[in-house]
Amino acid sequence: MTDGNAIAERVELERLAQSWAPPRGWIGWLSAADHKTIGIRYLVTGFAFFALAGLLAMLMRLQLARPENTLIGPDFYDEVFSTHGTVMMFLFAVPIAQGFAVYLVPLMIGAREIAFPRLNAFSYWLYLFGGLMIVAAFAINVGPDAGWFAYVPLTEQAYTPSKRADIWAQMITFTEVSASRSLNCARRACR
């Protein structure tokens, strides 16, 4: 009887291990709610946006390389400048710190998982969606053009007659809501 119970218990433990195993493949990796996977996603996506910001910086430097250069016009230069600053601050610097926090804090405190893992996964998707919207807005020529910090005088109707600043603010809202949600999950893991 004891051998039968031990075999049944081992089979049950194997089934439990299979049910808790991380999903396989790309779809499994993108749908996982494990804090390590989400932290790696933040880091990989943050460095991809960093590469995009580097390309924008290179374009700005090419424009400024010679006096009276006509590589890009002044309006497009404003868009490049604003998008570069936005990507560097909101899509690279903050999410890289966030990725390290999501990955490391549960490990440092000995927690099995971060608090609210699905909310943490959702915050990553908000970050990715907001970042892709910023890039898409730049690609279709409705990107921000009032600086990456949106000074109030420069975003008034007289200086920015289009809705670019409003679109920019909405996209930043997506990315920053994701940052606050994810960091709150990491903080709650400490309690």
Q: Is the pTM of this model over 0.75?
A: yes
Judge if 123 and 73 occupy the same domain: yes
Structural domain harbouring 111 = 32-189
Instruction: Give the pLDDT confidence score for residue 5 in this predicted structure.
Output: 82
Judge if 76 and 23 occupy the same domain: no
pLDDT in tens, 24-83: 788 777 888 888 999 999 999 999 999 999 999 999 999 999 998 889 988 888 888 888
Judge if 16 and 71 occupy the same domain: no
Q: What is the mean pLDDT of residues 8-22?
A: 82
- DSSP code per residue over 150-191: T-GGGGSTTT--SSHHHHHHHHHHHHHHHHHHHHHHHHHHT-
Angle between helices 74-86 and 35-63 (to 10 degrees): 150
Q: Are 168 and 150 in contact, with CB atoms under 8 Å apart?
A: yes
Judge if 176 and 163 occupy the same domain: yes
Structurally, how many domains does the chain consist of? Answer: 2
Q: Which CATH number do you get for residue 150?
A: 1.20.120
Instruction: Give the pLDDT confidence score for residue 191 in this predicted structure.
Output: 52
Instruction: Give the pLDDT confidence score for residue 143 in this predicted structure.
Output: 76
Residue with tokens 């610097």, as numbered in its chain: 93
Q: Are 63 and 84 in contact, with CB atoms under 8 Å apart?
A: no
Q: Is 67 helix (H, G, I), strand (E, B) or coil?
A: coil
pLDDT in tens, 91-143: 999 999 999 999 999 999 988 888 888 888 888 998 998 889 888 888 888 87
Judge if 90 and 141 occupy the same domain: yes
